[in-house]
Amino acid sequence: MKRLLPLLISLMLSSALSAQVIISLVLGDALNTDKVEFGLAGGMSRSYITDISTSEGLNSFDLGFYFHIHLMKTSYLSTGVHVKSNVGAKGMPVYPLGDAAFDTIYQGGSLTKKIPCFYVPILFHQRFNNRWYAEIGPQLGLIYKTVDIFETSKLDGDLTYTRDVLDEYKRIDAGLMVGAGYKFQKTIKSMSAGASYYYGLVNVSNNPDYTIKNSAFYFFIRIPIGAGPQPE
Mean pLDDT, the chain, whole residue set: 85
* End-to-end CA gap in the chain: 29
Residue 6 has pLDDT above 70, yes or no: no
Residue 10 has pLDDT above 50, yes or no: no
Residue 1 has pLDDT above 80, yes or no: no
CA nearest neighbour of 26 among 10, 15, 13: 10
The torsion defined by the Cα of 175, 80, 179 and 32, in degrees rounded to 10, comes to: -160
User: Does 101 fall in a domain?
Assistant: no
User: Does 229 fall in a domain?
Assistant: no
User: Does 160 fall in a domain?
Assistant: no
How many structural domains does the chain have? Answer: 1
192: CATH: 2.40.160
Model pLDDT for residues 33-77, shown as the tens digit of each residue: 788 899 999 999 999 998 888 889 999 999 999 999 999 999 999
Residue 127 has pLDDT above 50, yes or no: yes
Q: State residue 228's pLDDT score.
A: 56
User: Does 54 fall in a domain?
Assistant: yes
Q: State residue 50's pLDDT score.
A: 86
Could you list the residue range(s) of the whole structural domain that residue 186 is in?
Answer: 4-88+115-143+170-224
User: Does 109 fall in a domain?
Assistant: no
Top-confidence residue, 139 or 108: 139
| Length of the chain measured in residues | 232
CA nearest neighbour of 151 among 164, 163, 166, 167: 163
User: Does 209 fall in a domain?
Assistant: yes
Q: State residue 13's pLDDT score.
A: 44
Q: State residue 111's pLDDT score.
A: 95
Model pLDDT for residues 180-218, shown as the tens digit of each residue: 999 999 888 899 999 999 999 999 999 888 899 999 999
Sequence-separated (6 or more) residues with CB below 8 Å from residue 26: 7, 38, 40, 65, 225, 226
Q: State residue 44's pLDDT score.
A: 95
User: Does 191 fall in a domain?
Assistant: yes
User: Does 17 fall in a domain?
Assistant: yes
